[in-house]
Amino acid sequence: MSESTSEVQPQREPLTPEGLAIAVKYDLTEKLMPHLDRHLIFPLLESLSSKELYDEHTLLQLKYDLLKDASMVDYTISLWKELHDGSENVPEELIQQKDDVLKQLETYEKSTSRVLEVFEDPEARANLKQDKVANLQFLESKYQITGDMINDLYKYGQLQYNCGKYHAASDLLYHVRILTTDSNLITSATWGKFAADILTLQWEAVAEELQKLRDIVDQRSFADPLTQLHHRTWIIHWSLFPFFNIENGKESLCDLFFSSAYINTIQASCPWILRYLTAAVVAMNKGPSGGHHGNIIFQKRLKDLIRVVGQEKYEYQDPLTEFIRALYIDYDFEEAQAKLSEAEIILNNDFFLADSAEAFLESARHLISELYCRIHQRIDVNQLSTRLNLSTEQGEKWIANLIQGTKMDAKIDESEGLVIMNHPVANVYQQVIEKTKGLTFRSNQVLSQAVNKHDALVS
């Protein structure tokens, strides 16, 4: 999608022209698309058309181009009609395509009916075991199911998927995976099922498939590191769908993306994913309610994030990562705040992040004020409020909550309109005690580990 396709339509637009420009400038759809499946791109485009960032006609054309080669012929035809202002002269090739697809469906239905029947049969199912080779032999001897039929099954599943019948595709591919011994076929089927489940919004199944895919990609010794890199890139992109839609998804997203292999992939091939990582990390900060443990994890992730953002600064920048950079690398509060308001526009216009926008902004404000309080001794409530994009009243309330919530040592001086922070000087003895606290325990643990290992070896 090129920049030129964007045509501003201010009369219907809640965004200011500048805001729109920002939204368009940092729109990632173009970068994401090469790494997504045709069908997965479709929801992105749908959301784009609802956001009205781009010209309606262009988007339609895009959708049409996108689905032209898929087998969702009916929908394609309707798109075509829409594109040509309701013209009824549907091109021949589309109709031809429709016939072809129907024919193919028919053939595959026939050729795979046998297999599917077997699966319907409870007796046969009961006889299936873990061992796939044995299963194949069993099926072949008893039900005359050959390898070709399984391949047909796979193709049938693919066709169903292409036609947009994701449920059916998911089921078929599931069967294929159970039966086949061909590892390539298994991989393909898993990818297919993953996509199908995403499109049918079965998030639990998706999570399961994701895990399977990760196992395949990470454990299989890829002959070619480049292929592995591509697969990881795909996983990263595809998994954005489940992660921003399920509960605790951001948690898993952070776990996955921060694991060394994937953070490397992000840095090497798709630095724009840092936006989602930033959003997830920041939005996940529950503040004091997250508890001590949660806070430690958050701090660690934040540290990692700051490092990566700093490293990739030269390759990728958007208001979200810039926010992190301004706040934690340059300590420039004014800039951080400016970036935050830009980030708000982006969040609201991003397909994945729209739901997390509130949480992100809230948390980002929290981060700003926290750092601000840490560095300052006396703070003007008014200024802090403007810094947080809040009114004075709201600001005071916010600060009061913050003080209460974090048990910060601070007081509000109402008459002066100040917050006075009291930074306790950490006692040296306290520090030394803190540091050496767990040492005995840890050493003991190490010792017992060593002893156990020795015993295990001796015995």
H or E, element range at 367: helix 357-375
Please identify, using beta-carbon distances, which residue of 81 and 230 lies nearer to other proteins.
230
Nearer Cβ to other proteins (119/222)? 222
CB of 3 to other proteins, least distance (A): 22
What are the phi and psi torsion angles at 350 (to 5°)? -95, 135
Return the number of the residue (144 or 449) whose C-beta is nearest other proteins: 449
User: Residue 195 Cβ, how far from other proteins at the closest point, in Å?
Assistant: 24
d(CA 414, CA 49): 49
DSSP H helical ranges for 200-332: 203-219, 225-238, 240-243, 249-258, 260-269, 274-284, 291-311, 319-324
Q: Which residues pair with 110 in a beta bridge?
A: none
Residue 350 CB, shortest distance to other proteins, in Å, is 26
Least distance (Å) between residue 269 CB and other proteins:
8
Which residue number, 50 or 314, has a Cβ lying nearer to other proteins?
314
Q: How far is the CB of 383 from other proteins (least distance, A)?
A: 6
48 vs 327 by CB, closer to other proteins: 327
> In the complex with other proteins, which residue's Cβ is closer, 116 or 420?
420
Give me the least distance between CB of 429 and other proteins, in Å please: 8
CB atoms within 10 A of CB 96: 11
* Beta bridge pairs of residue 421: 410
Angle of CA points 395, 280, 338, to nearest 5°: 45
Helices (H), 52-72: 56-68
Contacts of 94 (CB under 8 A, 6+ apart): 73, 76, 77, 80
242 and 206 in contact (C-beta within 8 Å)?
Answer: yes
Residue 2 DSSP label: -
Least distance (Å) between residue 330 CB and other proteins: 6
Q: CA-to-CA distance for 109 and 160, rounded, in angstroms? A: 10
**103/453 with CB nearer other proteins:** 453
Q: How far apart are CA 53 and CA 348, in angstroms?
A: 12
Q: Which is nearer to other proteins, 113 or 443 (CB)?
A: 443
227: left (phi over 0), alpha (psi -120 to 50) or beta: alpha
The DSSP result for 168-186, as a single string, is: HHHHHHHHHHHH---HHHH
Q: Which two tokens stand for residue 39?
A: 């069908």
**Bridge partners for 420 per DSSP:** 378, 411
- Name which of 95 and 375 has its Cβ closer to other proteins: 375
Judged by CB, which is closer to other proteins: 133, or 428? 428
Q: How far is the CB of 458 from other proteins (least distance, A)?
A: 9
Considering beta carbons, is residue 11 or 440 the nearer one to other proteins?
Answer: 440
Listed residue (254, 247, 299, 249) closest to 274, CA to CA: 254
Site residues (CB under 8 A) for other proteins?
A: 218-219, 221-222, 225-226, 228-229, 260-261, 263-265, 267-269, 307-308, 311, 314-315, 330-334, 371, 374-380, 383, 416, 418, 421, 423, 425, 428, 431-432, 435-436, 439, 442-443, 445-446, 449-450, 453-454, 457
Q: How far is the CB of 231 from other proteins (least distance, A)?
A: 11
CA-to-CA distance for 13 and 16, rounded, in angstroms? 7
CB of 332 to other proteins, least distance (A): 5
145, 119 Cβ separation under 8 angstroms: no
DSSP code of residue 325: I
Q: How far is the CB of 441 from other proteins (least distance, A)?
A: 10
Closest CA to 56 of 8, 3, 2: 8
